[in-house]
Structure 1
Amino acid sequence: MAELDKFDYRLLELLQENSRMTGNELADKVGLSSAACLRRVQRLRETGVIERDVAVVSPKVFGKRMMVIVLLTMERDRPDRYILMREEFAKMPEVVQCHHVTGAHDFVLRIQVSDMEEYSAFVERVFHEPYIKRYESLAVLGSLK
Structure 2
Amino acid sequence: MQNLDSFDRQLLEQLQIDSRQTGRDLSQKVGLSSAACLRRVQRLRKIGAIEREVAVISPSFQGPATRVIVLLSVARDNPQRIDILKQKLRRLKEVERLYYVTGDADLAVIVRCASMEDYAAFTETHLFDPPLTGFESLVVLREYPKEAD
Answer yes or no: same fold by TM over 0.5.
yes
Which has the larger displacement, 116-125 or 20-29? 20-29
1:108-119 aligned at under 5 Å gives the runs 108-119=108-119
Contact 1:68 1:111 in 2 (8 A): yes
Query: When the two structures are aligned, how many residues end up with a matched partner?
Result: 145
Determine whether 1:98 maps to 2:104. Answer: no
Contact 2:100 2:107 in 1 (8 A): yes
Deviation at 1:75, TM superposition (A): 2.6
* TM-score using structure 2 length: 0.83
Point out where structure 2 has 5 or more consecutive residues left out of the alignment.
none
Can you list the C-alpha shifts for 1:104-143, whole angstroms capped at 9, x where unaligned?
A: 2121111001111111111111122243211100001122
Point out where structure 1 has 5 or more consecutive residues left out of the alignment.
none
Q: 1:23 to 1:118 in 2, by over 3 A?
A: same
Contact 2:74 2:133 in 1 (8 A): yes
Q: Over the residues paired in the alignment, what is the CA RMSD in angstroms?
A: 2.1
Determine whether 1:20 maps to 2:14. Answer: no
Amino acid at match of 1:143: E
For residues 16 and 132 of structure 1, the distance between their equivalents in structure 2, rounded to whole angstroms, comes to 33
Q: 1:29 to 1:118 in 2, by over 3 A?
A: same
Instruction: Give 2:124's aligned residue.
Output: 124
Instruction: Give 1:43's aligned residue.
Output: 43
Runs of 4 or more, structure 1, over 6 Å off, are none
Deviation at 1:79, TM superposition (A): 4.3
Amino acid at match of 1:92: L
For residues 86 and 80 of structure 1, the distance between their equivalents in structure 2, rounded to whole angstroms, comes to 10
